[in-house]
Chain A
Amino acid sequence: MSTNLPNASAIPPDWISRRGPGSGLSGLAGRIRLQVAGTDAGVLKVANSEAEIGPDGEADATLNADTLPTLVGLLAGEVHPIIARLQNRLSVEGDLALIVRVFLGLQADSPWSDLRPGS
């Protein structure tokens, strides 16, 4: 389990308030700590076919993206998680099966689908 978020200011503010359904997330429940180059960027919470990002809290797994655009691309369903892994653009710790399921699920649709890498 991860500890509390030390630096909430790394999170783009418009992520936090966003909460929404994802048809690919059915049957999933869990919390994934998001990081960019090792710096915390929020906790993705998935339950009841919905996802949201909160500023802190416990997590079952950590996804560490190399850059913010990679993380945004993953959240928006634009970047495929296996591709990002094979290109060495992300690393994971903890519950790998949760991370793969959630980010494959966001490929279907995503509350962050209007975000674009670089935003």
Chain B
Amino acid sequence: MPETISILDGNQFVVSNRQGDIDPTPTENHGLFLNDTRYLSRWVLTINGRRPALLSVDDTTYYRVQHFLALATGAVYIDSHLSVVRQRSIAEGFRERLSLGNHGKGPIDVDIHIEIGADFADLFEVKDKREKKGELYQKVEADRLTLGYRRGQFRRETVVTSSTTAKVEADGLRLAVTIAPRTIWSTDLNVVAAREHETSSPAPQAPLIEAEGLRPDLTDNLRQWLDVAPKLSTSWEPLLRAYERSLVDLAALRFRAPVILASMPAAGLPWFMTIFGRDSLITSFQALPFLPELATTTLRTLAMLQSRAHDDFRDAEPGKIPHELRFGELTAFEDTPHSPYYGTADATPLFLVLMEEYERWTGDRDLVRSLEPEARAAVNWIDRYGDQDGDGYIEYERRNPDGLENQCWKDSGDSIAFADGTLADTPRAICELQGYAYDAKRRTARLAREVWNDPAWADELEQQAAALKTRFNEDFWLPERNFFALGLDGHKRKIDSLTSNIGHLLWSGIADDDKAKACAAHLMDDALFSGWGVRTMARTEGSYNPIGYHVGTVWPHDNAIIAWGLRRYGYDAEAGRIAYAMLEAAELFKGRLPEAFAGYARETTRYPVEYPTACSPQAWAAGTPLLLIRAMLGLDAKDGELIVNPAVPEAIDRIELLDVPGPWGRRDAFGRARVR
């Protein structure tokens, strides 16, 4: 049972304990967060000096939660006449209806106290407490408590009001009430996290509780979101649960922020509730046959933020697609480079991959036409700045010493190691970056020919891609181990560990057929395949750790990409095996795949073991069931037609996806397992 409860709407979220209190401990980071800033770091309810005891929590809806409590008498059993219900909903802050029920025969006098504090920590400061450079202040007024933080013109305020008269104190609200027998008393507490332009007068709030419950607008919005997605019918119930969970989680992760163009998916709760180039691109790719509008916003927003200058602080060069954009104080004062930070070597080719895939699934040539300058700049980045030493491969090395050491998806410091466990030196040319570049050039060639009317450039790009494929299959192949190297290190030595990265090469199509066959065998072998999924690193390798972030755990999105890659090369049974195992794991996670889980072999654990600090929900984990469904049905879009080429595992048997959107309007896709 999780110790914390999270509710969210895009990049605003509340993390509390199960009682509903925001009461951080060294191991649990509670708070009300918005735009990478913690607007409340303390919100603790006591009644007559005691904290009510937990009965149960209803957190079945992502944007609201109900905590059922009772005022304990101190005995072993809770035998209380006073019940407490806290209904909370996220809303530019949050709204909380506090209801106290007197179930006794006489009136009860209660002293309710909400202890309130706000440290306005930047999300990066939450883990590592730092001295604030600006000034914290409080304003006590008759009807409201304002907690604020000021640093130059950067201001953030939290304003707390109550619908019932409360005594406002510097550290909280106090309400003294008498509750008649057999009645329920309630008050609505409003917490407004005010953005800078709203600080002088917080926006008036809509009525707190509507007939349909808290935040009926979000209920309607979610209903619309689910209505437009294709309908799934299947003979295997867990797939349906995973699909529905994915759609809801992708809705929950949509967010808007000051400098993005429309709602787009944040990467993951709680640490990555912002734009990540790579995560947004992969998630949008996964969702294209289901929810293509995510890709529209991702392409437009990332194009807008594409770097146009050299910038050592942000690890940027012209044409590069950003890695991460943050909105907190440390970013605003350039204490950190996330405005945005560009330390990613794969987002730029993936931007081109998504653009071409988007055109095929939507037919939206207007957007693709408008993005021609950005596409050209991205190709130029691949050739000129991605390949710093002119060897024909993308490699990365940070220029900001506080930037990311690894600028591929396995971006932790220990992820790129030789088979003996030695870390590779830099700059590093990781294998999948070359695959993405190959795929990007082939796809961009099609757009150049069909949309941008530049057949000469198309020919050039295709020739470059073909040459890259030939070169790569020679330079990255490890004949003694029969798979592709993880990458080339700073001395052009092949990094010889066996990793899941080889699966991405199948997705991109850069692997020669004979080499793809060898890689497919490795991906399904016990060293890499845990029984629940393909591990990030094989257990035969020196750095392997089943609970190492990128050196042994299983990442769902990684597996979805691998399954789709296996299908590209005709390894249908292998793709089905991964898809089924991953969906079995999803069922054991109640339909919601986490960012990553442990790489222990399935024969030793009947359940996939949770990775301790994994984000959940995580956008590309939520997108995983979508890409797996696509892989099992063999869905593709070509020349305005929906292609269906099913390879459904026997255990799942039947999948029907109705109303798949595309240039064709809406079409249905059916798949049944082949009877042997």
How many B residues touch A, CB cutoff 8 Å? 33
> Which of A24, A28, A97, A101 meets B318, CB within 8 Å?
A24
Contacts of B119-158 to chain A: CB distance below 8 A:
152-155
Are A86 and B309 in contact (CB-based, < 8 A)?
no
Write out the residue numbers on chain B whose beta carbons fall within 8 Å of the beta carbon of A82: 259, 325, 339-340
**B327 CB–A CB distance under 8 Å:** yes
**Residues in chain B within 8 A of chain A (CB atoms):** 152-155, 196-197, 258-259, 261, 300, 303-311, 318, 325, 327, 331-334, 339-340, 372-374, 376-377
What mask results when residues 72 to 92 of chain A are scored 1 for a CB within 8 Å of chain B, else 0?
Answer: 000001001011011111010
Whether B197 contacts A91 by the Cβ 8 Å rule is yes
CB-CB < 8 A to B197: which residues of A?
88, 91
Q: Which of A8-66 contact B (CB under 8 A)?
A: 23-28, 66
Residues of B within 8 A of A80 (CB): 334, 339
Provided the pairs A82-B259, A88-B154 are in contact, do residues A27 and B377 lie with their beta carbons within 8 angstroms?
Answer: yes
Given contacts A85-B259, A97-B261, contact A104 B308 (CB under 8 A): yes
Nearest CB on B from A80, distance (A)? 6
**Complex: A24 Cα to B310 Cα, angstroms:** 10
A93 CB to closest chain B CB (Å) equals: 13
A residues 68-119 in Cβ contact with B at 8 Å: 77, 80, 82-83, 85-89, 91, 96-97, 100-101, 104-105, 107-108
Q: How far is the CB of B330 from chain A (nearest CB, A)?
A: 10
Most chain B beta carbons < 10 A, residue from A82, A83, A86: A86
Contact B373 A104 (CB under 8 A): no
B contact residues around A83 at 8 Å (CB):
331-332, 334, 339
Residues of B within 8 A of A26 (CB): 373, 377
Beyond A27-B374, A87-B152, A88-B196, is A97–B300 a contact (Cβ under 8 Å)? yes
Minimum CB–CB distance from B166 to chain A (whole Å) comes to 31
Interface footprint category on A: 20 to 34
B259 close to A108 (CB less than 8 A): no
Bound CA–CA A104/B621 (angstroms): 32
**Which A-chain residue is minimally distant from B155 (CB atoms)?**
A88
The residue on B at minimum CB distance from A91 is: B197
CA distance A23 to B374 in the complex (A): 14
CB contacts (< 8 Å) of A107 on chain B: these are 308-309, 311
A-B contact pairs, 22 of them (CB 8 A): A24-B318, A25-B308, A26-B377, A27-B374, A82-B339, A83-B331, A83-B339, A85-B258, A86-B327, A86-B331, A87-B153, A88-B155, A88-B197, A91-B197, A96-B259, A96-B304, A97-B304, A104-B306, A104-B307, A107-B309, A107-B311, A108-B318
Chain A positions within 8 Å of B376 at CB level: 27
CA distance A87 to B374 in the complex (A): 28
B258 near A86: Cβ-Cβ < 8 Å: yes
Scoring A82, A91, A97, A105 by chain B CB atoms within 10 A of each residue's CB, the highest score goes to A82
With beta carbons under 8 angstroms apart, the residue of A66, A85, A108 that contacts B310 is A108
Q: How far is the CA of A86 from the CA of B153 in the complex (A)?
A: 9
